[in-house]
Every structure is written in structure tokens, then in C-alpha cells.
Amino acid sequence: ILPLVSVNQILLLLLVLTVCAILYSKVHQVPLALRNETVDLENPEEMEEEIPVVICAAAGRMGATVAAISSIYSNTEANVLFYIIGLKSTIPHIRKWIENSKLKEIKFKVVEFNPMVLKGKIRQDASRPELLQPLNFVRFYLPLLIQKHEKVIYLDDDVIVQGDIQELYDTKLAPGHAAAFSDDCDLPSTHEMVRSVGMQNTYMGFLDYRKQAIRDLGISPSTCSFNPGVIVGNMTEWKHQRITKQLEKWMQRNVEENLYSSTLGGGVATSPMLIVFHGKYSSINPMWHIRHLGWSPDARYSEQFLQEAKLLHWNGRYKPWDYPSVHTDLWENWFIPDPSRKFKLTRPDS
């Protein structure tokens, strides 16, 4: 009998130990799983929203791209992902520039733009042929180039950013709006600049109101224009409203009917956007797009005003990497020399 009791006791002890082990395992597994989850939730790298910034790298202007990226990266703690759009021939140069400079720490993707998508859609214009460069039209095709993001920032290359790009990204878009732009009538300081250099800031300056197709739009020629050099875009709305198709339609109509040209407002990429987005866009904080710095080699903003500005845009003929131009010191703060020495600044003493 004794051996039998001993065996039963041993079996009972083993059973108790097994149950205890199972309970111990269950009790300790749950906190472990929760602890892992908590670590992931609190990890800023996991939680921080990615801010996609689209900027082009055109031949002969890559120093502009580098300065713009440098200014953005230096003035934010946000998780920025740069989409650098180039033609096949320019991509190796910009990649080498970034990877062999202090910008090697940035997160970026280089995307090739195929100019064949523009075939038959651009009317040749001899007055300012530089405006017909394929990369000028990248902004028309944002959802095709940048596919995984709901919200995107597009910037022209001739800008520098002095504020935190997170602020621009946080721009609220009204329901049903595919994009936010800066109105050309939004700041008194800008009005003074426009008057001093004789620049147009209404639809009359961009569209040819002698043409019936333009008059049929029913848009008053005195309507304030906007500048698409800085865009905060909602890609879902953009696709839903078939914005790219609408823009292409007006490009093709211009080829056939000459509805706008660079001799008017100075931008063949702006005019179709003015038509397609008329009355259907949200506004960007005016200080996030101080423009016309490249419109005259003489007209200048006050230094105090420029210090307060979040983003400066040298739209116009007079670029800060060329000569003559104004406020070049602000731009050069962010310029990084080309390691291959192909791109050089044009200065009076060079």
C-alpha cells in the first residue's frame, strides 16, 4: 500500500506543479505582450507621421534643390521624407550630391519623371523656353508619382524654408478641396512688391480673355490669382476629382487654341491650375509663401519682414544662384557646394 500512496502523491504533486506552471505562464505572458505593445506605441519613430515633401531636381538648377532640402531639414524635428523628382539624365548627379554631403542623413527617394506623358500637351513658346521644361509639370502628376501618402507637400526648387515644415503640413484643407495654395492678394507687403515691379496678380495676367473658351469659364478677369509653387495636396481628393485629367485637358486645349502663354503671367504651368482649381482650394498661411523675390534685380523686402517669413520663393527670372539677384545671403545660408563641382554659383567676382 505504501508504494501505491507514494506513487499517487507523486502524480498529484506533478499535476499541481503542471497547473501552477500553466497559470504562471498565462499570468506572465499577458503583461509581456502588453509591455511590448506599449513600447511600440510610445516609440516616436513608430508614431511620428511621415511628411512627404516633393521637389524637383532639374539640370542646371540642382543647387536650388539642395538648398531647399537643406533649409527644410535644418529647421525641423519632423519625420520628413523627400521625394526628389528628376529626369533619367539628372538622377545620378543629385543622388551623388546628397550622398556625399551633410545631407546624407536625410530620408529620400529619387523618382524618375517620364517626359513622354507631356507629348502633344505643351505649346512651344519661344519667349521663356525654360518654363516648358518637363519638370515644371511634375505638380500635375503628384498622385502618380507619390502613391502611398494621403497628404503631400509640393515645393518649387527656388525656395528656402525658414520655419518648421510641420506647420505647413498641418494646413487644414476644407472638405472637397484637393489642394491649398497662397493667394496673390494675401499680404500688403506682397502688394507693394507687385506694384513696384508691375507684376500681375489677377486671372487677367494669366489667361487670354480675348478667347471665347476663357470667357465661357465665367471667371472675372479681376479675380485674384494664386501661386502653385507651394502646394499642400490631398491625394485622395485629387484622384477622386480627376485633377490630373482636367489639367491635361486644358493643356491640350491651349495647344490648339493658345489660351494662355508665358508672355502673360510668366508661367504656363500656373494657368491650367488657375482654371481647374478656381473657387475650389484652401488657403496657406501667407507667411508660408513670401514670393516675387526673383521678379526684379532691385526690388527688395525689408529685412525684418524676411526674418519673420516662414518660406521665401524666388519666383521670376532673377534666381539667387545667378547674378543679379536680391537677398542672396538668405539663400546661401542653406546652399551646399556640389562635390562634383559641376554646379557653381554665378557671382560678380566669379
Backbone angles phi, psi at 20, to 5 degrees: -60, -40
**Which H or E run includes 249?**
helix 243-257
pLDDT along the chain (350 residues), means of 10: 59 72 54 32 58 97 98 98 96 97 97 94 68 89 95 98 98 98 77 61 90 96 93 98 98 92 66 97 96 88 94 94 96 97 90
111, 55 Cβ separation under 8 angstroms = no
Asked if 261 contacts 151 with a C-beta cutoff of 8 angstroms, the reply is no
- Give the separation between CA 220 and CA 87, rounded to whole angstroms: 38
Q: How far apart are CA 19 and CA 43, in angstroms?
A: 36
> Nearest-CA neighbor of 239 among 152, 302, 309, 167?
152
Confidence (pLDDT) at 299: 83
Q: Nearest-CA neighbor of 303 among 322, 284, 324, 329? A: 329
Please report the pLDDT score of residue 14 as a whole number. Answer: 73
| Greatest pairwise CA separation for the chain in angstroms | 116
* Cell numbers standing for residue 214: 476663357
pLDDT at residue 38, rounded to an integer: 30
- The DSSP 8-state label assigned to residue 133 in this structure reads -
The pLDDT of residue 34 is 30
**Residue 101 to residues 85, 207, 213, 223, 231: CA-CA distances in angstroms?**
19, 43, 50, 45, 28
What whole-number distance in Å separates Cα of residue 209 and Cα of residue 222? 11
What string of DSSP letters covers 179-231?
A: EEEEETTS-HHHHHHHHHHT---BGGGTS-TTSHHHHTTT--TTSB-EEEEEE
pLDDT for residue 265: 53
Q: How far apart are CA 302 and CA 317, in angstroms?
A: 20
Between CA 206 and CA 275 the distance in angstroms is 10
Euclidean distance between the first and final Cα of the chain, in Å?
109
Neighbouring CB atoms inside 10 A of 143's CB total: 18
Nearby residues of 14 by Cβ (< 8 Å), 6 or more positions away: none
pLDDT for 36: 32
Q: Domains along the chain?
A: 51-186+225-236+276-333 (3.90.550.10)
Compute the half-sphere exposure of residue 289: CA atoms within 13 Å on the CB side of its CA: 25
Question: DSSP labels for 274-336?
Answer: HHHTTT--EE--GGG-B--TTS-SS----HHHHHH-SEEE--SS--TTSSS-SSHHHHHTT--
pTM of the model: 0.84
Compute the residue count for the chain: 350
| Residue 110: per-residue pLDDT | 97
Q: For residue 134, with 0-12 CB atoms within 10 Å meaning exposed, 13-18 middle and 19 or more buried, which class applies?
A: middle
- 97, 149, 265, 342 from 339: Cα distances, Å: 6, 32, 36, 8
Distance CA 311, CA 89 (A): 29
